Amino acid sequence: MATSTSDTALVARTTMFRDLPLHADVGHALTTMLFRRPSPIQLHALPVAMFGNDVIGQAKSGTGKTAVFGVAAIEYTIRQVEQQNQKIEGHVVGIPLALILAPTREIAVQIESVLRQLAQFRPDIVIRTCIGGLSVAQDQIYLAAGCHIVVGTPGRVKALVDQHSLPCSAIRLLVLDEVDKLMARDFEKDLQYIADALPERRQTLAFSATFTPDQLFAVAQLMRTPQIVRVRRPDDVTTEFISSAEDLENWKKREQSNSPELWLPHVRQFYSVVDIPSRKAAGDDILNMKAKVVKLTALLSEIVFMQCMVFCNGKFRAEALATALAAHGWPAASITGSQPQATRLEAMEGFRASRSRVLVSTDLTARGIDVDKVNVVVNLDLPRDPATYLHRVGRTGRFGGKGLAVTLLSRKEVQGVHLLARVFGMKINELPSPVPPEIYTYAAPEDTGDGENAEEPSDGVAAESFSVEGTGELCNYEGSDDKAGLVTCSAAAEILLAKETEDTDTTIIRHNCEDVVENSTSCAAKGGTGAEPLSRMNLSGYDLEEKSYKRWADFL
């Protein structure tokens, strides 16, 4: 029988990490990483996971889901290593005990970084990342030398399993991060192949910010008796135990009758309408993009921000925009699916280190990427579906901070953002012009303190929620006279339009699932019933074909 509980049913809200039955080395690592009090998803999902149950966890971006399965994986590995005493003359001879899958290479690398922080006092725990774009031979060498935890993308992991380079016989913990994407068509077969190769009796943990009922149903079928933990708000946490196939069917029917409830409490969301010059030529889309670029540079020059992520629907637009911004005074980088993996990792590392203030990207970085200085997100293009919008905007307002999100629209796209607001039941207002300071000062990070009696942010994420920049440190801006990180840059927007062209030749290319993480089924907008599956709602009203222009960079 399925059951439901409130946020007080599992553990008292005053619970600290030190109150949980953690291994001393893990507890020490959490203290070093400034973890003291669990966020709601950590509070409810971690004890269940540590007890050995299957877990499906849903919570908004930036609430600490990675820490849940990271702690669970390290705890499980330590127990197994100590029980088996897998050491001979100081050399690790272990075979993989846990497997963590992520939909993108960037997320996989980030997960590895978190795991290494959690295992910093256990040098005997060996963690390897196996992702596409890097050497298969090197992966094989590392795996042959022995490891305990493997983090990887489905394609590379499947290849290693198929080649018998990744032994699966001892893997009793499977983690699926951003599982809604892993259940999409481009990964579904690989995921099923990997799951079939693992022992039937295993623990499976699955996490994401968004699920459709069909996706949750499919994930639950990979488990035995899953417990679903959903955090809609800090004071609205439900847990549901699925003990039978009948429970699962009834749960799916109930979910399909409800509209999604997803929440971004600390992100102010706006849209800005871009007027394009009237022209009879067939270059309206080009004019639209040029006008959006002008609006973007004007916005960045007007508001105060630390770091900004700009999302585009096409890799050509993203790369051209980043190049132009960097050439005209904005430290910018780009990440797209067409770039070599080493280039993408270098761009992300530079952005985390604040060598660039603006990161222009396709939806490759819309999920699971955490950079705590990002307090502004701009959608240069309206996302292809509501779920992708939620993930994009969720790159800011993380770890209890606050953020600003602005979507740039043509007149014909305004209906799409109104549909989006109805789907999620949230406010997306038109951005005033000029932009009042209270809008972008809202996006400035706040020091929430890390003392024992520090006041907790309103979303329930303690000030000590960890940074993913590899240092375990949090930013502290309050009381500082150094505004270097908040100063605006000047950029002449007219430079981006310096070169006019009458060439309107276009090339139609198919949607590239490597370039866009949210690979949705093509369909027209449905008029906004609110119950339409997120993965099938097309906000723009167009087919999922994108127009890319042969010399788009020339227009910048």
What is the CATH classification number for the domain harbouring 106? 3.40.50.300
Low-confidence winner among 40-44, 85-89, 429-433 (lowest mean pLDDT): 85-89
**CA angle 526–546–537, rounded 5-degree value:** 20
**Closest residue by Cα to residue 184 from 536, 537, 543, 523:** 536
Amino acid, res. 151: V
Residue 261 resides in a domain = no
Band of pLDDT at residue 442, cut at 50, 70 and 90: low
Low-confidence winner among 180-194, 242-256, 274-288, 438-452 (lowest mean pLDDT): 438-452
Question: Comparing 435 with 531, which gets the higher pLDDT?
Answer: 435
Number of domains in the chain: 2
**Closest residue by Cα to residue 374 from 365, 363, 362:** 365
Rounded to whole angstroms, the Cα distance separating 49 from 366 reads: 26
Among the three residues 256, 278, 312, which one is the final residue of a domain in this structure?
256
Residue 295 resides in a domain = yes
Region 106-129 average pLDDT:
95
Residue 151 resides in a domain = yes
Q: Are residues 297 and 214 in the same domain?
A: no
Residue range 405-420, pLDDT digits in tens: 999 998 888 888 888 7
Residue 406 resides in a domain = yes
Q: φ, ψ for residue 468 (rounded to 5)?
A: -105, 20
Question: Comparing 225 with 550, which gets the higher pLDDT?
Answer: 225
Rounded to whole angstroms, the Cα distance separating 360 from 370 reads: 15
Q: Are residues 500 and 370 in the same domain?
A: yes
Is the Cβ–Cβ distance between 496 and 177 less than 8 Å? Answer: no
Task: Judge whether residue 459 has pLDDT over 50.
Answer: no
Rounded to whole angstroms, the Cα distance separating 363 from 361 reads: 6
pTM score > 0.85 for this model? no
Which residues touch 502 (CB under 8 Å, ≥6 apart)? Answer: 281, 283
Q: Are residues 104 and 174 in the same domain?
A: yes
Q: What is the DSSP string of 391-457?
A: HHHTTSS-TT--EEEEEEE-GGGHHHHHHHHHHHT---EEPPSSPPHHHHHTTS------STTPPPP
Residue at token pair 């070169």? 499
Region 196-200 average pLDDT:
95
Three-state secondary structure call for residue 462: coil
* pLDDT at residue 489, rounded to an integer: 26
Q: Are residues 207 and 284 in the same domain?
A: no
516 C-beta neighbours (distance < 10 Å), count: 24
Rounded to whole angstroms, the Cα distance separating 400 from 234 reads: 11
Residue range 202-213, pLDDT digits in tens: 999 999 887 777
Residue 498 resides in a domain = yes
Q: Are residues 209 and 302 in the same domain?
A: no
CA 324 to chain centre: 26
* pLDDT at residue 539, rounded to an integer: 42
Give the rounded percent of residues in the chain with a pLDDT score beyond 70. Answer: 70
Rounded to whole angstroms, the Cα distance separating 100 from 116 reads: 14
Among the three residues 256, 285, 312, which one is the final residue of a domain in this structure?
256
Question: Comparing 514 with 38, which gets the higher pLDDT?
Answer: 38
Task: Judge whether residue 316 has pLDDT over 60.
Answer: yes
**Closest residue by Cα to residue 47 from 68, 64, 16:** 68
Task: Judge whether residue 65 has pLDDT over 60.
Answer: yes
Residue 76 resides in a domain = yes
Distances (CA, A) of 459 to 33, 60, 69, 326, 398: 20, 11, 21, 36, 10
Q: Are residues 318 and 241 in the same domain?
A: no
Residue 198 resides in a domain = yes
Residue range 504-546, pLDDT digits in tens: 222 222 222 233 233 332 222 223 333 333 333 344 432 223 3
Q: Are residues 49 and 170 in the same domain?
A: yes
* pLDDT at residue 530, rounded to an integer: 35
Region 105-126 average pLDDT:
94
Q: Which domain holds residue 329?
A: 267-555
Task: Judge whether residue 403 has pLDDT over 60.
Answer: yes
Q: Are residues 295 and 252 in the same domain?
A: no
Q: Are residues 194 and 273 in the same domain?
A: no
Distances (CA, A) of 499 to 463, 502, 546: 48, 10, 23
Region 443-467 average pLDDT:
33
Region 325-347 average pLDDT:
86
Band of pLDDT at residue 253, cut at 50, 70 and 90: low
Q: Are residues 297 and 398 in the same domain?
A: yes
Q: Are residues 288 and 226 in the same domain?
A: no
DSSP for residue 40:
H
Question: Comparing 73 with 464, which gets the higher pLDDT?
Answer: 73
Among the three residues 256, 290, 306, which one is the final residue of a domain in this structure?
256
Q: Are residues 217 and 281 in the same domain?
A: no
Residue 262 resides in a domain = no
Most confidently modeled range among 10-24, 271-285, 292-306: 292-306
